[in-house]
Structure 1
Amino acid sequence: MNAHELRVHQPEPPLRGHLPFGEPEGAPDRIEVTSRWFERGGRPWMPITGEIHYSRIPRERWSEVLGHARAGGLDSVATYVFWTVHEPEPGRFDWSGNRDLRAFIELAGAHGLDVIVRMGPWGHGEYRYGGFPDWLIERGDVRTRTNDPAYLDLVRPLYAQIIAQLEGLTHAEGGPIIGAQVDNELYDQPDHLAKLREIAEELGLRVPFWTATGWGGAQVPETLLPLYSAYSEGFWEDSTVEWPAFAPFHFRYSEVRDDLTVGADLREALDGISTDSTEPLKHDDRTPFATCELGGGMHVAYHRRPLVSPEDVANLALAKIGSGSAWQGYYMYAGGTQRTGPHGTEQESHATGYPNDVPALTYDFHAPIGEHGQIRPHHHYLRRQHLWLQADGRRIATMASIVGGGSDDPEELRWAVRSDGRSGYLFATTYQPPKRPVAAQPGVQFTVHFEDAEITVPTVPVNLPEGVSVAWPLRYALTDDLELRSATAQLLTRLDDLVVLAATEGVPVELVLGDGTIVDLPVPPGPDCFIDLHGVRLLILDDASANRLYKLPFAGRDRLVLADAPVYVENGDLVVHPETERTAIAMLPAPGPLEAEGAELEHTAGGDWSTWVLTTPSTGPVPVTVPDIGPATAPEPRLGGPMDRLSAPTDYSGAANVHIDIPDFGGPDRALLRIDWTGDTGRAHIGDAFVSDHFWHGRVWDIDLSAHREAVAEHGVRLELLPWRRATGVWVDPSVRDVPDGIEIRSATIVRVGKVRIKEDQ
Structure 2
Amino acid sequence: MKRPVAFFIIFALICYSSYAQNRWKIDVTNVDTTVVRGHLKLGGINPDGDKIVVNSHYLERNGEPIIPIFGEFHFSRYPADQWDQEIKKMKAGGITLIATYVFWSLHEPSEGHFYWDGDLDLRRFVELCGKNDMDVIVRVGPFDHGEWRNGGIPDWLYGRPIEIRSNDPEYLKYVERLYGQIGQQLKGQFHKDGGPIIGVQIENEYQHSAAPWGFTYDGAPRELTVARRDVGVTQIQVGINKSGNENSAIGAVHMKTLKKLAVDAGLIAPLYTATGWGYATIIEKESLPVMSAYAYPYWVDEPTPSPFYLYKDIHAKPDYEPVSYNPALYPSLGAELGTGMAVVYKKRPRVPQESLLPMMVREIGSGSNGLGFYMYHGGTTPSIGNHFYTEAFGLNLKSYDYQSPLGEFGFPEGSFYSLKVFNYFLRDFGATLAPCMTILPKTNPTTPANLNTLRYAVRSNGESGYVFMHNFQDHLKTSNIADNRIEVKATKGTYSFPNSGTFDLNVGSVAVLPFNIDFGGVKFKTAMIQPFCKVGNGYVFVSMKGLKPEIVLEGRHKVKGAKATVKGGDTVVSLPSGKAVEFSIDGVEFLLIPFEDALNAYTVNNRLFISNGIVCGHDTHELITTSPETEITVWPAANISVNNGSITKISSAFGSKWKVFLQEVKPALEIKKTDDRHIVLDASGMKWDGVNEVYLSFDYVGDRGICMMDGVLQTDNFYTSRPWLMGLKKYTDTLKDKEMYFYFVPMQKDAPYLSYLDSIPDFGGKKEYLSLPMPKVITEYKVTLVVK
TM-score (norm 1): 0.87
* Partner residue, 1:330: 373
* Partner residue, 1:517: 571
Q: 1:190 to 1:739 in 2, by over 3 A?
A: farther
Q: 1:39 aligns with which of 53, 60, 67?
A: 60
Structure 1 stretch displaced more, 79-88 or 402-411: 402-411
* Partner residue, 1:491: 531
* Partner residue, 2:80: 59
**Cα distance in 1 between the residues matched to 2:373 and 2:110:** 32
* Partner residue, 1:345: 388
**Cα distance in 2 between the residues matched to 1:551 and 1:290:** 25
**Cα distance in 1 between the residues matched to 2:205 and 2:726:** 32
Q: Which amino acid aligns with 1:368?
A: P
How far did 1:723 drift? Answer: 1.1
Q: 1:616 aligns with which of 662, 665, 670?
A: 662
**Cα distance in 2 between the residues matched to 1:700 and 1:569:** 29
Q: Which amino acid aligns with 1:334?
A: H
* Partner residue, 1:295: 338
How far did 1:22 drift? Answer: 1.1
Structure 1 stretch displaced more, 714-723 or 443-452: 714-723
Q: Which amino acid aligns with 1:511?
A: I
* Partner residue, 1:590: 637
* Partner residue, 2:182: 162
Q: 1:551-590, aligned counterparts within 5 Å? A: 551-553=603-605, 558-570=606-618, 572-590=619-637
Q: Which amino acid aligns with 2:759?
A: V
Structure 2 counterpart SS, 1:28: coil
Q: 1:402 aligns with which of 439, 444, 447?
A: 439
Q: Does 1:177 align with 2:223?
A: no
Q: 1:342 to 1:466 in 2, by over 3 A?
A: closer
Q: Does 1:208 align with 2:270?
A: yes
Structure 1 counterpart SS, 2:127: helix
* Partner residue, 1:756: 783
Q: 1:619 to 1:520 in 2, by over 3 A?
A: farther
Structure 1 stretch displaced more, 45-54 or 734-743: 734-743
Q: 2:142 aligns with which of 121, 142, 161?
A: 121
How far did 1:168 drift? Answer: 1.0
Q: 1:628 to 1:90 in 2, by over 3 A?
A: closer
* Partner residue, 1:473: 514
Q: Which amino acid aligns with 1:204?
A: G
How far did 1:747 drift? Answer: 4.6
Identity of aligned residues (%): 29
Q: 1:257 to 1:359 in 2, by over 3 A?
A: farther
* Partner residue, 2:592: 540
Q: 1:402 to 1:678 in 2, by over 3 A?
A: same
**Cα distance in 1 between the residues matched to 2:323 and 2:718:** 31
Q: Does the CA-based 8 Å contact 2:84-2:128 persist in structure 1?
A: yes
Q: 1:686 to 1:411 in 2, by over 3 A?
A: same
Q: 1:441 to 1:738 in 2, by over 3 A?
A: farther
Q: Which amino acid aligns with 2:204?
A: N
| Cα shift readout 1:477-529 (whole Å, capped 9, x = no counterpart) | 2343x3221122211112244321111123322322224322122x44323x1
Structure 2 counterpart SS, 1:93: coil
Q: 1:382 aligns with which of 376, 398, 419?
A: 419
Structure 1 counterpart SS, 2:356: helix
How far did 1:625 drift? Answer: 6.8
Q: Does the CA-based 8 Å contact 1:473-1:490 persist in structure 2?
A: yes
Structure 2 counterpart SS, 1:305: coil
Q: 1:3 aligns with which of 18, 23, 41?
A: 23
Structure 1 stretch displaced more, 20-29 or 144-153: 20-29
Q: Which amino acid aligns with 1:525?
A: G
* Partner residue, 2:160: 140
Q: Which amino acid aligns with 1:419?
A: S
Larger Rg: 2
Structure 1 counterpart SS, 2:419: helix
Q: Does the CA-based 8 Å contact 1:257-1:282 persist in structure 2?
A: no
**Cα distance in 1 between the residues matched to 2:481 and 2:201:** 42
Q: 1:591 to 1:537 in 2, by over 3 A?
A: closer
How far did 1:12 drift? Answer: 2.7
Structure 1 counterpart SS, 2:697: strand
Q: Which amino acid aligns with 2:616?
A: Y
**Cα distance in 2 between the residues matched to 1:363 and 1:664:** 29
Q: Does the CA-based 8 Å contact 2:317-2:327 persist in structure 1?
A: no
Structure 1 stretch displaced more, 693-702 or 665-674: 665-674
Q: Does the CA-based 8 Å contact 2:379-2:408 persist in structure 1?
A: yes
| Cα shift readout 1:554-599 (whole Å, capped 9, x = no counterpart) | xxxx1111111012114x221111101101112112334x432243
Q: Does the CA-based 8 Å contact 1:28-1:172 persist in structure 2?
A: no
Structure 1 runs (4+) deviating above 6 angstroms are 24-27, 278-282, 620-626
Q: 1:147-546, aligned counterparts within 5 Å? A: 147-187=167-207, 188=248, 189-222=251-284, 223-238=286-301, 241=302, 243-244=303-304, 247-255=306-314, 258-260=318-320, 284-341=327-384, 344-349=387-392, 356-404=393-441, 405-408=444-447, 409-433=450-474, 435-458=475-498, 459-480=500-521, 482-515=522-555, 516-521=570-575, 523-527=576-580, 529-546=581-598
Give the gaps of 5 or more residues in structure 2: 1-20, 208-247, 556-569
| Cα shift readout 1:180-212 (whole Å, capped 9, x = no counterpart) | 011111125222112110111123332111110
**Cα distance in 1 between the residues matched to 2:91 and 2:46:** 29
Q: 1:739 to 1:629 in 2, by over 3 A?
A: farther
Q: 1:582-661, aligned counterparts within 5 Å? A: 582-592=629-639, 594-604=640-650, 606=652, 608-619=654-665, 627=673, 629-630=675-676, 656-659=677-680
Structure 1 stretch displaced more, 690-699 or 710-719: 710-719
